[in-house]
Amino acid sequence: MTHSSENDVPTETPQLKFLRRMVTTLTVVMVCGFLVVLTLLVIRLSSTGPTLPEAIALPDGITARAVTFGEGWIAVVTQENEILILNSLSGAIEQRVKITVGEN
């Protein structure tokens, strides 16, 4: 009768050792990727947007259809097919662009 001794530890095959290292490496890569995505989300969501004025004063009779904010300017598309470029600090009209729609 043979007795198993404490010295008889089963040896790890090379394939099993490779698989264990691969799983560990992939786990580390996934954790690092998750941390990067989480960090980018926190940075992106915590940034402030553009500074918006409390109100935009348009000339009498002009109705806005769309508004776009840029660095130092505000573009307002009106119902009269016109684009007004306003100074974002003073609100003064800097430029008017008439929109002409071509026939197809």
Query: Residue 86, exposed/middle/buried by CB under 10 A (0-12, 13-18, 19+)?
Result: buried
Lowest pLDDT segment from 5-14, 29-38, 64-73, 79-88? 5-14
The model scores a pTM over 0.85? no
The pair of structure tokens assigned to 76 is: 């307002």
The pair of structure tokens assigned to 86 is: 């306003």
Q: Is the pLDDT of residue 5 over 70?
A: no
What pLDDT sits at residue 54? 80
Q: What is the pLDDT of residues 16-65, one digit of tens each?
A: 999 999 999 999 999 999 999 999 999 988 877 767 778 888 888 889 99
> What is the b/e burial string over 7-42, where b = at least 16 CB atoms within 10 angstroms of the residue's CB?
eeeeeeeeeeeeeeeeeeeeeeeeeeeeeeeeeeee
CATH architecture designation of domain 51-104: Beta Barrel (2.40)
- What residue segments make up the domains of the chain, in order of their start? 13-47, 51-104
CB count within 10 Å of CB 65 equals: 11
Q: Which one is predicted more confidently, 50 or 11? A: 11
What pLDDT sits at residue 21? 96
φ and ψ of 29, to 5 deg: -65, -40
